[in-house]
A and B are shown apart, each in its own frame.
Chain A
Amino acid sequence: MNKLVWITLGTVAATGGAVAGASYVYRRKQGAVADGPGDTSKGEPAGAPSADRPTPDPAILTPLAWDGAAGLPTAADVKGDLVRNWGRTPLDLRPLLLAAEEASQISGAARLLAIVGYRESRFDPNAHNGNAADEQRERDASSTAYTQNKARNPPLAFGEAAANFGSGGLFGALAPYFLWTGVQELGTKAPLLGADPRIMFLPRVATFAACVYLARLLKNYDVQDLPDIKVGWGSVSLLKGDGRTSETYRSIRNNFVADAATLGIDLADAATIPPRLNAERWPGVATVFERIVGKLPTPRAVS
């Protein structure tokens, strides 16, 4: 599985840095093989701790409970089809993904996010790359993301924690970029600026952020088909210039198609996932946040 990185779709400086972390399953199974274009530790031995890099803050590994966090949506909360072309997507996650599609008004987003979630977390909302000793590379990526972008983005209440966090959640987001989600539209009123990075383990919040990234990708980059979305999820630089001629571009596309087949989602079923997605009806970050998350939950330490 590739070291896939979201580009800085969630930051003011959308210039090509890494947003998403390595696939959870991949990291757990394979250790580290640097192959993503946004991988800042390319060339380092797998699992080797970087010099002068912080180790994970023990506090950030403590699980959090949340007050005010709504549970997963149910079938009654959405209007779309929960049966057709979902493959093996867990039944109880389908309403959440449909809610994302309905909130973002990006037709096809539900199945697309299912394929992304399958690769990035195997649908485990608690997937975390960066909490294990041999995941220094992932922490390096989040640290670099924070260091390189903090001057041009609104401050994060948990900036240092995010820098040491790595990535995680249903869609494998790198913590700093995750917390900066929506700053392009909302500036200092972006909803996650004051949040602990562990909020990405809440499926509704992770899905909100994924919607924002997806919309920005579709609006701002040359996305020619469905696999291109996953390429852009890894690195938008691959969608520009010579990027499309690279081996990484090809392998990400191949993996995306293979993931869809493994999951059982038919990419040719235009009724549920059009051949090209568009965000022309994107209602805005604030509206999508309201529809998917509502009020931001507050953390409560677990004893």
Chain B
Amino acid sequence: MSASHLAECHGGDIEALADVAGDFDARSPEESAAFILRTWTGIAGTVGFAQALADAMAALRGTRLALVGLHAAALAAFDRWSAKPRRPLSSELPAVVRTARAKVRHEVLLALGESRRATLWAIDEPAARLPARACFERGPATTVSGRAFLVDAAENFFHDNRKSYPGDPLGACRWETPVILSLGTYPWVLGSKLHRTPPALDWDAATPWNPASVAMRLATSLWQPLGNLQQDATQVVQQYRHYTRAVDLALAAVPTWPKGQPGQLARKGLLLHVDHGSLDLAGINSPLGYLSATAHNFIIERFATFFAVRRAHARVAGQLPIELRRAIAHNPDPCLRRLTTDPLARGLSATRA
């Protein structure tokens, strides 16, 4: 049952996708820690805080937190790194406006983390239902819209054209579409902006607000046991299949490794590869926009990691702590729910609900 949970519930392509991230025994603290470290190392290398992560991991080595404290230490490393400006801030935007924007972004993300645990991977929410209606006070600044996030409703790598539903409440600050964010692939949260530099790293911090930090916590919670088991996998499957369809069209002319020339972009399994060259410089222009090779690999790895964690925990569902069995019992995905018939888990969660 458990070994083929992904194949049974979602299909062979999802099982193969999970293999990109590898497998581990969720009951083993050592294997779980190794998986977490490997995942964080990949994220940090791509996003740019490898040094901060390495320092944080070095500080943990030899302590009693070495196995269980990895994730928290990595998050703290990202917090510190992301709070520092990585580019000169535009003088056209007053600090008070920048702070107002950071605050709204921060609060919107926190609210989504509380209220959308099952659909956190891909946020698609009327702005009017979000804190401050996802608008910030822009004051005298005329170079910003007042919307806390970029509009990303047109067809792109992550979704088809999106418009507000007829019954959706109207948004303020000219939100005419839902707020759409792919938090599962943070910091590449917009399917129309898959350049090498991820747009959501530019979510400036303004003490005490740090939306990038909140977003990273939410995104990485999706491959932590509890967050993973709370997320509806069918949403992630849909997102993945849309993405791969779009990418297949964009990469139609890209050779499959080992065909192709050294130094040029090639497809290698689900990932992109450049022999003896910089993947950071490679990418494809497509009708849906530019697709950075590095961004593509990062996105695929995020999908793969989600399903690898799901597979590892589904395999031992009956032996998981009550909190995780409760998450399984309340997951919207019936294919996951069937893994637990534990009345205690169902009862407790019902009491909490």
Determine how close the nearest CB of chain B comes to the CB of A48; give it in whole angstroms: 30
- Verify B279–A92 contact, CB threshold 8 A: yes
- Which residue of A74, A75, A302 contacts B261 across the interface (Cβ within 8 Å)? A302
The segment from A26-34, A123-131, A210-218, A234-242 found at the interface with B is A123-131
Residues of chain A from 116 to 139 with CB closer than 8 A to chain B in the complex: 123-126
Report the separation of the CA atoms of residues A43 and B66 in the bound assembly, to the nearest whole angstrom: 67
Determine how close the nearest CB of chain B comes to the CB of A97; give it in whole angstroms: 11
Report the separation of the CA atoms of residues A201 and B281 in the bound assembly, to the nearest whole angstrom: 15
Does B169 make an interface contact (CB < 8 A)?
A: no
With a CB–CB cut-off of 8 A, which chain A residues contact B279?
92
- Verify B263–A83 contact, CB threshold 8 A: no
- Verify A125–B45 contact, CB threshold 8 A: no
- Verify A123–B278 contact, CB threshold 8 A: yes
- Which residue of A72, A83, A203 contacts B48 across the interface (Cβ within 8 Å)? A83
- Verify B278–A66 contact, CB threshold 8 A: no
Q: With A66-B262, A201-B263, A302-B262 known to touch, is A125 a contact of B51 (CB < 8 Å)?
A: no
Tally chain A residues at the interface, Cβ within 8 Å. Answer: 24
Does B342 make an interface contact (CB < 8 A)?
A: no
Determine how close the nearest CB of chain B comes to the CB of A170; give it in whole angstroms: 9
Residues of chain B from 253 to 281 with CB closer than 8 A to chain A in the complex: 258, 261-264, 275-281
- Verify A93–B280 contact, CB threshold 8 A: yes
Q: With A201-B262, A302-B262 known to touch, is A83 a contact of B278 (CB < 8 Å)?
A: no
Does B49 make an interface contact (CB < 8 A)?
A: yes
- Verify B277–A126 contact, CB threshold 8 A: yes
Residues of chain A from 35 to 91 with CB closer than 8 A to chain B in the complex: 63-66, 69, 71-72, 74-75, 81-83, 90-91
Could you mark each residue 31-64 of chain B with 1 if its beta carbon is under 8 Å from any beta carbon of chain A, else 0?
0000000000000011011111010000000000
Q: With A75-B45, A75-B51, A83-B52 known to touch, is A93 a contact of B278 (CB < 8 Å)?
A: yes
- Verify A82–B276 contact, CB threshold 8 A: no
Q: With A65-B262, A125-B263, A126-B263 known to touch, is A203 a contact of B45 (CB < 8 Å)?
A: no
Nearest opposing residue in chain A for B54, CB measure = A75
Nearest opposing residue in chain B for A74, CB measure = B45
Report the separation of the CA atoms of residues A64 and B280 in the bound assembly, to the nearest whole angstrom: 22
Does A202 make an interface contact (CB < 8 A)?
A: yes
- Verify A201–B48 contact, CB threshold 8 A: no
Determine how close the nearest CB of chain A comes to the CB of B54; give it in whole angstroms: 7
With a CB–CB cut-off of 8 A, which chain A residues contact B51?
75, 81-83
Determine how close the nearest CB of chain A comes to the CB of B158; give it in whole angstroms: 23
Determine how close the nearest CB of chain B comes to the CB of A123; give it in whole angstroms: 6
- Verify B277–A125 contact, CB threshold 8 A: yes
- Verify B46–A71 contact, CB threshold 8 A: no
- Verify B278–A63 contact, CB threshold 8 A: no
- Which residue of A71, A90, A91 contacts B276 across the interface (Cβ within 8 Å)? A71
With a CB–CB cut-off of 8 A, which chain A residues contact B49?
83
List 10 A-B pairs, Cβ < 8 Å.
Answer: A63-B262, A63-B263, A64-B262, A72-B276, A74-B45, A82-B51, A92-B279, A125-B278, A126-B263, A203-B277
B residues lining the A interface (CB < 8 Å): 45-46, 48-52, 54, 81, 258, 261-264, 275-281, 294
A-B pairs, top 4 by smallest CB distance, nearest first, are A90-B280, A126-B263, A63-B261, A75-B50
Known A75-B50, A83-B48, A93-B280; further 9 A-B contacts with Cβ < 8 A: A63-B261, A63-B262, A66-B262, A74-B45, A83-B52, A90-B281, A124-B281, A125-B276, A126-B264
